[in-house]
């Protein structure tokens, strides 16, 4: 390739220990030119770790790395902090992990501590009531916290701004990726034009449609479920009308199923199309009103604040590592929100992976640790996160009354048995999945 030999110098924009950008000259290795990467005179920014995606997973990874003294840049193509209307449930081990970053109290301040969750029959109010207080000996947080994902991204973004070694850059989209045995080189589009970022490792936390996954040719095996879920929020006080509600309720009703998840000032209702309805018809305000009226009939219409339809998937990446590119969160696994495990599992990935990056970068540990990361986290995603979410989703989609009776009786018997109840909660609260991962060496 013309103009591409190892003797050429390159202007390199580097972030120094005080987090200031400095330009230095650096020799170009032929590999970069050979792959159409930075040409003579182009500006390259260097960091130890580049994180693609400033969702909950990327921000947690970035904060943990920077706190360990590793220069980290997090990029996100969005123009600002993620305000997505998505996760609302934080599980106990996630709260413990976020507490290490000083984020948990802020979440609690903006959330609802929810010691119980339930599966119930709408018409009879019969229920299987799970009580996380039985986990008091297993976790400092024996409850689910009902709090919006966007509270976490806001808090984490604010913390990132005050964290040395960490820069979060919005409006920066990763568009190209290559790697050799020393670095990953990412081409990004910024508001000021294209740039090249070079890092020892790239944490791919760019979500379901991950560019990092596509650019490394990784497969994302799985399926998309047929139904569309309609998320509708309302300030109506269901708790004053439906006896014995928890803050998290998965409900069977004669016409199908719905769920009611409470947040400090709002209820989130997950609704589904009726059998004779298209999704377009189901999204009509009148159709949403009709379904809310089935939950609690009232003379005045419901105030619906937000409506969001979404499809759900069950997918898993084949390997959490492609050389120096390491996958975490939705880019690695996608699952039904039923049970609230996607974001939580992604944060667990971020914690596991950042520990390994610290060991490799700071303590000279072998890169084989990144294969251990796959061996630890992928089976948990497959057999705990995806499997439980799939079972939860399947349970709620069943319509046969006899099956529902039998399942309700089974769950109530399980709860009546203290050991079985605790074991179930350890699993559904994602505590046993973490223990399982830790046991893999
Ligand atoms: C309705 C709903 C309810 C849910 N409820 C729960 C729940 O209660 N509990 C739970 O645990 N999970 C829940 N989930 C799942 C949860 O929202 C996701 O698992 C979580 O957002 C994954 O976080 P992430 O950081 O991996 O990805 P994301 O949050 O998707 O973040 C990825 C980021 O990458 C950025 N990005 C993408 N491409 C590029 C690129 N090329 N360059 C730069 N940046 C890029 C995006 O802009 C985005 O900010 C729910 C999901 C939905 C839809």
Q: What is the mean pLDDT of residues 378-399?
A: 95
Confidence band of 12 (pLDDT split at 50, 70, 90): very low
Nearest atom (ligand 1) to Cα of 58? 25
User: Count of CB atoms within 10 A of residue 227's CB?
Assistant: 16
Residue 19: which pLDDT band, with cuts at 50, 70 and 90? very low
In this predicted model, what pLDDT tens digit does every residue of 238-259 receive, in sequence order? 999 999 999 999 999 999 999 9
Fold of 6-84+150-222+316-385: FAD/NAD(P)-binding domain (3.50.50)
Provide the pLDDT confidence category of residue 430 given band limits of 50, 70 and 90.
very high
Ligand 1 pocket check for 148: Cβ under 6 Å? no
On the question of pLDDT at 20 being above 80, the answer is no
Q: What is the pLDDT of residue 334?
A: 97
Q: Where are the domains of the chain?
A: 6-84+150-222+316-385
Encode pLDDT of 147-187 as tens digits: 999 999 999 999 999 999 999 999 999 999 999 999 999 99
How do residues 262-276 score in pLDDT, each as one tens digit? 999 999 999 999 988
**Given a cut of 90, is residue 29 above it in pLDDT?**
no
Flag whether pLDDT at 359 surpasses 70. yes
pLDDT tier for residue 43 given thresholds of 50, 70 and 90:
low
Q: Is the CB of 342 under 6 A from ligand 1?
A: yes
* Mutational pocket test of ligand 1: of 94, 149, 261, the residue with most ligand atoms within 8 Å of the beta carbon: 149
276-302 per-position pLDDT tens digit: 899 999 999 999 999 999 999 999 999
Q: Is 403 in the pocket of ligand 1 (CB under 6 A)?
A: no
Who contacts 242 (Cβ-Cβ below 8 Å, separation ≥6)? 125, 260, 295, 296
Closest CA to 163 of 264, 37, 39, 65: 65
- Relative to beta strand 193-204, strand 44-52 is parallel
Shortest-distance atom of ligand 1 to CA 53: 34
Find the 207 Cα to ligand 1 centroid distance in Å: 5
For a substitution probing ligand 1, which of 50, 55, 189, 214 has the most ligand atoms within 8 Å of its CB?
55
Beta bridge mates, 178: 185
Taking the C-alpha atoms of residue 30 and residue 34, their distance in angstroms, rounded to an integer, is 6
């Amino acid at each position: 390739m013309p103009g591409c030999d190892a003797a050429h110098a390159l202007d390199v924009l580097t972030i120094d220990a005080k987090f200031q950008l400095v330009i230095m000259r650096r020799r170009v290795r032929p590999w970069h030119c050979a792959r159409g990467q930075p040409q003579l005179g182009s500006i390259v920014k260097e960091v130890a770790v580049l994180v693609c995606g400033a969702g909950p997973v990327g921000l947690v990874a970035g904060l943990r790395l920077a706190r360990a003294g590793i220069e980290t840049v997090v990029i996100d193509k969005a123009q600002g902090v993620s305000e997505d209307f998505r996760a609302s449930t934080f599980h106990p081990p996630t709260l413990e992990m976020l507490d290490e970053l000083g984020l948990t109290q802020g979440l609690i301040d903006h959330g609802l501590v929810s010691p119980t969750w339930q599966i119930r029959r709408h018409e009879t109010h019969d229920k299987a009531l799970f009580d996380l207080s039985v986990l008091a000996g297993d976790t400092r947080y024996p409850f689910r916290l009902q709090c919006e994902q966007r509270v976490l991204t806001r808090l984490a973004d604010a913390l990132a701004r005050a964290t040395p070694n960490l820069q979060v850059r919005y409006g920066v989209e990763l568009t190209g990726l290559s790697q050799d045995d020393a670095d990953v080189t990412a081409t990004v589009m910024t508001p000021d034009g294209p740039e090249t970022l070079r890092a020892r490792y790239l944490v791919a936390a760019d979500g379901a449609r991950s560019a990092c996954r596509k650019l490394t040719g990784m497969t994302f095996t799985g399926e998309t479920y047929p139904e569309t879920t309609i998320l509708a929020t309302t300030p109506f006080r269901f708790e004053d009308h439906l006896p014995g509600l928890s803050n998290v309720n998965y409900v069977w009703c004669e016409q199908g199923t719905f769920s009611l998840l409470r947040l400090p000032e709002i209820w989130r209702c997950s609704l589904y199309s009726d059998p004779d309805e298209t999704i377009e018809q189901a999204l009509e305000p009148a159709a949403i009103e009709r379904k809310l009226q089935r939950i609690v009939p009232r003379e005045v219409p419901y105030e619906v604040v937000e409506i969001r339809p979404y499809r759900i998937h069950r997918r898993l990446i084949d390997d959490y590592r492609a050389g120096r590119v390491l996958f975490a969160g939705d880019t690695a696994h996608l699952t039904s929100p039923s049970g609230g495990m996607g974001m939580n599992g992604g944060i667990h990935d971020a914690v596991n992976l950042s520990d390994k990056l610290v060991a490799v970068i700071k303590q000279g540990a072998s890169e084989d640790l990144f294969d251990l990361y796959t061996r630890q986290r992928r089976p948990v995603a497959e057999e705990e996160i995806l499997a439980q979410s799939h079972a939860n989703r399947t349970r709620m989609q069943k319509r046969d009354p006899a099956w529902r009776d039998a399942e309700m009786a089974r769950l109530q018997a399980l709860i009546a048995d203290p050991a079985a109840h605790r074991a179930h909660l350890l699993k559904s609260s994602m505590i046993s999945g973490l223990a399982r991962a830790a046991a893999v060496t």
